């Protein structure tokens, strides 16, 4: 089933992703089917995913399933490889630090380098659906900008601050084969994996062989 119209309004190339969030998110997930989440150790999470080259009904259906899966797992962002699909797509339904909700899709995302004067680090806690029940402090810039495409292949730009900036960086990292725990010290990574081992995820996961 193809998307009937562009998912977000666009202003100067920047997506306006704060309008009609509830209705848009609901429409996606009502069409989709929740899938289990892949976890650290699954090979699809540890390599760069493939570029999307076909903007068709199959991609639209994947995006619907991703929103359904994200909601089922109570996440704020989800990359395609987190449900086992080797493609550069992520979805998000995430508030920023002011409580403003952002909802959208980015295909073939590229995180933009920040000038030195914009690299203000935020060392808040971070978690991941693919490392269930684990959290660790990780310093990331408190502003992020991602360039990519929408579900129809149109060029878009997404920018965010605070928690939403963290989400954009986190999900883009996924599609290039990196989990947030890969950025931690050996000690903190080991602690995160211990938390995961001792915890019980509240959503369905794919067991690693």
What positions carry a catalytic annotation?
Answer: 171
CA distance 191 to 157: 35
**Residue 59: enclosing H or E segment and its boundaries?**
helix 57-72
Name the token pair of 3. 């998307």
């Amino acid at each position: 089933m193809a998307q009937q119209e562009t998912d977000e309004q666009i202003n100067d190339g920047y997506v306006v992703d704060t309008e009609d969030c509830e209705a848009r998110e609901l429409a996606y997930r009502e069409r989709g089917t929740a899938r289990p989440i892949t976890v650290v150790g699954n090979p699809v999470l540890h390599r760069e995913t493939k570029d999307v080259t076909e903007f068709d009904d199959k991609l639209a259906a994947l995006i619907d399933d991703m929103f359904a899966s994200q909601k089922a797992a109570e996440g704020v962002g989800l990359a395609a490889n987190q449900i086992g699909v080797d493609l550069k797509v992520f979805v998000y339904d995430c508030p920023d630090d002011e409580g403003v909700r952002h909802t959208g899709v980015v295909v073939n995302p590229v995180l933009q380098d920040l000038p030195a004067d914009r690299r203000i680090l935020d060392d808040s806690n971070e978690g991941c659906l693919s490392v269930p029940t684990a959290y660790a402090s990780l310093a990331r810039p408190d502003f992020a900008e991602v360039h990519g495409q929408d579900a129809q292949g149109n060029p878009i730009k997404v920018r965010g601050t605070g928690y939403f900036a963290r989400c954009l960086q986190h999900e883009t990292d996924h599609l290039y084969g990196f989990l947030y725990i890969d950025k931690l010290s050996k000690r903190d990574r080991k602690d995160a994996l211990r938390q995961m081992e001792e915890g019980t995820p509240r959503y369905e996961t794919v067991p690693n062989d």
